[in-house]
Copies of this chain bind each other. A is one copy, B any other.
């Protein structure tokens, strides 16, 4: 049996989506059709959505699940008339929170998703620009300014992780690819030595690395399993010798890699 799940918000819908997906992940046997509906910020839009939810109920032969993070009571009241099963975050928790805090909620639409203040926003954009400027050790190497320097073999996941750290946490992360040439030295690359305390290493299963590299440069020495095995072995040796904290990224998403780096290094979330 199929069920439709609606993630509904007066803002971007990201919170409703994250929350809904975390609950749905617990029901593996059921096939969910996921629909995100952002910017439901007046009762007219809500009423149109009710029609859509009721249609899904008919088609599925079961109530759609509704995960909403709408703050306004009037809009939520309209949604609650739909033929659905409502997981109503604000309706459930706002009133108890008001009691606990002896303070009334502002019930302001969109506010729930208000992204930080201006300075946080700018910090994140700066961090993105920093990550781009300091990508692959190529253009600039503003390592004095960096919060973190990610190192690892080419294609081990450094760039997406740096960008995620910047966008999500406002962390300035540079990255430096450890090349074969660097490994000949059997020492930490010179550019990195003054910044040892900021370095975090990534490693990856050689088999996986070979697959990833093959997409970029098929059938090359660079993407051969033999070459990948050699580089990874040497890089892990380097990490151990220099006591650089590192993690294997093979089984993890970008979100998880970034969060584990934050935890391991004790970096603060700049949001």
A100 adjacent to B85 (CB under 8 Å)? yes
B39 adjacent to A263 (CB under 8 Å)? yes
Tell me how many chains of this kind the complex includes: 2
Q: CB-CB < 8 A to A22: which residues of B?
A: 15, 69, 89, 112-113
Cα A159 to Cα B130 with chains together (Å): 12
* Interface status of A184 (Cβ within 8 A of chain B): no
* Interface status of A75 (Cβ within 8 A of chain B): no
Query: Shortest Cβ distance from A186 into chain B, in angstroms?
Result: 31
Q: Is the interface of A mostly helix, strand, loop or mixed?
A: helix
Query: Shortest Cβ distance from A256 into chain B, in angstroms?
Result: 6
Q: CB-CB < 8 A to A113: which residues of B?
A: 22, 25, 255-256
Cα A115 to Cα B36 with chains together (Å): 17
* Interface status of A97 (Cβ within 8 A of chain B): yes
Query: Shortest Cβ distance from A123 into chain B, in angstroms?
Result: 12
Contact flag A12-B255 (CB < 8 Å), given A22-B112, A27-B101, A106-B27: yes
B255 adjacent to A115 (CB under 8 Å)? yes
* Interface status of A78 (Cβ within 8 A of chain B): no
* Interface status of A254 (Cβ within 8 A of chain B): yes
Query: Which stretch in A51-59, A141-149, A160-168, A224-232 binds the other chain?
Result: A160-168
Residues of A within 8 A of B (CB): 3, 11-15, 18-19, 22-23, 25-30, 36, 38-39, 63, 65, 69, 71, 85, 87, 89-90, 92-94, 96-97, 100-101, 103, 105-108, 111-116, 121, 124-125, 128-129, 132, 135, 157, 159-160, 163-164, 167-168, 253-256, 258-260, 262-263, 269
